[in-house]
Amino acid sequence: MSTEQTRTAHLVKPAGGGIRAVLTYNLIADRRYIKVSLLSQLIAPVLYLLALGVGLGGVINAHGGADSLGTSYLSFIAPALIAATALQVGVGDATYPILHGGFKYQRIYFGIGATPVTAGQLARSILTWIAYKAAGASAIYLAVVACFGGIRSVGALLCLPIATLGALALATPIAAFSATLQDEGNSFNMIFRFVVTPMFLFSGTFYPISTLPHWVRLLAWLSPLWHATELARWVSLGPLQLTTGVGSLSAPMAVVHLLFLLVPALIGARLTIWRFAVRLSR
């Protein structure tokens, strides 16, 4: 490097660029998908709200649905759909990108592991990025819901942190799992088919789970999406104090739901950090 003039050694931080540096990488890496993902994140809610909110909702409302719910069907499913979307985005980013791009094929995380950035910082950055993306998808969804006239209180804005937390409650344990997998096999397919999709169908998204048999309702307790949906409805419709009870939640129950999201999210995050450290230090 006879031409070399720029010295960087004195500017290198012994502790490295940390989480911020990895987030910068995520931003640059995801920038090229932004058009496609923004477009799909705009189109999906339009389709869902048209089909289910306006179409199916029209039938339901006409048959007394709006009366028995105390609010339009669209405004009933909207908070749940926001939570479900965040969950899907979160789980998506906690699977293929981590195993394939990170550890297995491109091995990008091993490149990062050779720098001052620690495995813990790397794992935290990945989870933070997942949270950002889930929050972003929720925000777009909420904006579309607003366009459909589905927002009935300012409290609906609180759907964003709730949906994001709901996404993390499932995405962080799955991120830990992805960091542990040597081979994908069919694992990710199974997760989407037998975890994410049933969760979407049986977590009170489209109807109150009180209409389900007792044993299915017990299963809902295992679903972070149900807890997120209950909370999202509470903040969106609770302020209306509907006589039908839709959107009402006692304070202790709200805390219980919150704990059912916080605890798995935090445990999952610890597990992810641990699995990243193990995988990078071999």
Partner 1 sequence: MIAALGLTKSFGGFTAVDAVDFSVARGESFGFLGPNGAGKSSTMRMIGAVSPVTAGSLRILGKDPATDGPAIRSRLGVVPQQDNLDVELSVWENLYVYGRYFGIPGRVLRPKIDELLDFAQLTDRARSKVEPLSGGMKRRLTIARSLINDPEILLLDEPTTGLDPQARHILWDRLYRLKHQGVTLVLTTHYMDEAEQLCDRLVVMDHGRIVAEGSPQQLIAEHASREVAELRFGIDQNEVMAEKVADLADRVEVLADRLLLYVDDGETALRAVSQRGLQPISSLVRRASLEDVFLTLTGRSLVD
Among 60, 78, 86, 117, binds partner 1 (CB under 8 A): 117
Q: Does 36 help bind partner 1 (rule: CB under 8 A)?
A: no
Q: Does 2 help bind partner 1 (rule: CB under 8 A)?
A: yes
- Contact range with partner 1 by CB under 8 A, out of 5-13, 155-163, 165-173, 191-199: 5-13
Residue of 231, 233, 208 lying closest to 60 (CA atoms): 208
Among 118, 138, 223, 236, binds partner 1 (CB under 8 A): 118
Among 38, 54, 78, 116, binds partner 1 (CB under 8 A): 116
Q: Does 11 help bind partner 1 (rule: CB under 8 A)?
A: yes
Could you give the maximum distance between any two Cα atoms of the chain, in Å? 81
Whether 99 and 181 have beta carbons less than 8 Å apart is answered as yes
Whichever of 257 and 275 has its CB closer to partner 1, that residue is: 275
Distances (CA, A) of 190 to 184, 196, 224, 247: 10, 9, 18, 32
Give min distance, CB of 150 to partner 1, in A: 37
- Contact range with partner 1 by CB under 8 A, out of 9-17, 40-48, 89-97, 158-166: 9-17
Residue of 163, 167, 226 lying closest to 200 (CA atoms): 226
Whichever of 12 and 46 has its CB closer to partner 1, that residue is: 12
As given in the structure block, the two tokens for residue 166 are 């709901």
Q: Does 3 help bind partner 1 (rule: CB under 8 A)?
A: yes
- Contact range with partner 1 by CB under 8 A, out of 13-21, 51-59, 75-83, 241-249: 13-21
Q: How many CB atoms lie within 10 A of CB 52?
A: 18
Q: Does 120 help bind partner 1 (rule: CB under 8 A)?
A: no
Q: Does 251 help bind partner 1 (rule: CB under 8 A)?
A: no
Whether 115 and 79 have beta carbons less than 8 Å apart is answered as no
**What sign does the dihedral 145-81-37-279 (CA atoms) show?**
positive
Residue of 82, 197, 202, 101 lying closest to 146 (CA atoms): 82
DSSP designation for 23: H
Residue of 89, 239, 262, 79 lying closest to 169 (CA atoms): 262
Whether 236 and 156 have beta carbons less than 8 Å apart is answered as yes
Whichever of 113 and 161 has its CB closer to partner 1, that residue is: 113
Q: Does 13 help bind partner 1 (rule: CB under 8 A)?
A: yes
Q: Does 114 help bind partner 1 (rule: CB under 8 A)?
A: yes
Whichever of 19 and 151 has its CB closer to partner 1, that residue is: 19
Binding residues (CB under 8 A) for partner 1: these are 1-9, 11-18, 20-22, 24-25, 28-29, 32, 101, 106-108, 110-118, 280-282
